[in-house]
């Protein structure tokens, strides 16, 4: 079954909205420069709230082992999203250390970026294909930017991939139709402003993505 992930959750109410809507994965951001960053105490609280209703994903950016140890201890995630410049060797080391599925984020703006993704075959569990951040961006993701989904027609599908980057309730059906992903991921597209999620937009995103995956089976 294709997966729907809501990322950057940081309050009990919006987490509840994602869980009640039927999100398969819920993501938590551990990156201080992000408006969606959460600390360890809140991570433990939100992690307990999930209580098996969805897979918890911890997003980090070029985190070292000490940082990942602390994140894993606080959240007890079901998967790790590595959203920086982590090499295939680093991804392999993270997988070996924690024994958790790894989603490796790749910034895409051209077909060449997809060729680079091949290096993660046999290492990452999922690719998370996001738009390359704008040059002046403060962080490598969560920028609400899309990329040319038709590029994915030539993607080697050995690894499952999650489509991300600028998705929202209005464009997710078209994005699924064009790119036929194994999952979709959204953050800023279900917000009113950076870091402030909107429960209605979360529900609309999950409903439309689910309907679109179901009708394309
Ligand atoms: O959300 C963030 O603040 C963030 C910070 C650092 C790295 C990644 C981040 N978010 C991830 O980026 C993609 C796309 O987000 P958007 O839907 O375009 O806003 C998604 O995987 C977020 O989880």
Q: What is the pLDDT at residue 133?
A: 86
Take atom 10 of ligand 1 and give the residue whose Cα is closest.
Answer: 142
- Catalytic site includes residue 156: no
Per-residue buried b or exposed e for 69-100, using 16+ beta carbons within 10 Å of the residue's own CB: eebeebbebbbbbbbbebeeebbbebbeebeb
Of all protein residues, the one whose alpha carbon is nearest to atom 7 of ligand 1 is 141
Known catalytic residue at 130: yes
Tokens in use for 187? 């953050």
- Regions of the chain where pLDDT drops below 50: none
> How far separated are the first and last CA of the chain, in Å rounded?
9
Strand ranges, E, within 109-171: 126-131, 161-163
CATH architecture classification, 3-215: Alpha-Beta Barrel (3.20)
| Residues 7 and 59 sit within 8 Å (Cβ to Cβ) | yes
* Residues 7-40: b if buried by 16+ CB within 10 A, e if exposed: bbbbeeebbbbbbebebbbbbbbbbeebbbbbee
Give nearest CA residue, ligand 1 atom 22: 142
Catalytic residue among 13, 65, 130, 200: 130
Q: What is the pLDDT of residue 8?
A: 98
Residues near 32 by Cβ (< 8 Å), separated by ≥ 6?
none
- CA 172 from chain centre, in angstroms, equals 14
Distances (CA, A) of 62 to 13, 19, 20, 172: 29, 28, 32, 28
Q: What pLDDT was estimated at residue 136? A: 83
Ligand 1: does its nearest atom lie under 6 Å from the Cβ of 59? yes
**Cβ of 8 below 6 Å from ligand 1:** yes
CA of 130 to the centre of ligand 1 (A): 8
Binding site membership of 63 for ligand 1 (Cβ less than 6 Å): no
User: Is 162 in a helix, a strand, or coil?
Assistant: strand
132 Cβ closer than 6 Å to some ligand 1 atom:
no
Residue 141 Cα to ligand 1 middle (Å): 4
pTM of the model: 0.96
Q: Which of 7, 24, 168, 185 is catalytic?
A: 7
* 216: CB partners within 8 A, 6+ apart: 176, 177, 180
- Report how far ligand 1's centroid is from the alpha carbon of 102 (Å): 16
**Ligand 1 pocket, residue 166 CB under 6 Å:** yes
């Amino acid at each position: 079954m294709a997966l729907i992930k809501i990322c950057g959750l940081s309050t009990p109410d919006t987490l509840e909205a994602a869980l009640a809507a039927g999100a398969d994965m819920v993501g938590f951001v551990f990156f201080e420069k992000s408006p969606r960053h959460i600390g360890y105490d809140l991570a433990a609280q939100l992690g307990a709230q999930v209580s098996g209703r969805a897979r918890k994903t911890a997003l980090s950016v070029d985190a070292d082992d000490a940082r990942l140890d602390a994140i894993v201890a606080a959240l007890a995630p079901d998967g790790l999203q590595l959203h920086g410049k982590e090499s295939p060797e680093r991804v392999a080391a993270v997988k070996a250390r924690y024994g958790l599925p790894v989603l490796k984020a790749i910034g895409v703006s051209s077909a060449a970026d997809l060729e680079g993704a091949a290096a993660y075959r046999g290492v990452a569990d999922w690719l998370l294909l996001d738009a390359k951040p704008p040059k002046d961006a403060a962080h490598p993701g969560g920028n609400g930017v899309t990329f040319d989904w038709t590029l994915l027609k030539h993607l080697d599908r050995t690894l499952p991939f999650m489509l991300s980057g600028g998705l929202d309730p209005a464009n997710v059906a078209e994005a699924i139709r064009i790119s036929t992903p194994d999952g979709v991921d959204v953050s800023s597209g279900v917000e009113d402003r950076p870091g402030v999620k909107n429960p209605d937009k979360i529900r609309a995103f999950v409903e439309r993505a689910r309907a679109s995956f179901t009708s394309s089976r």
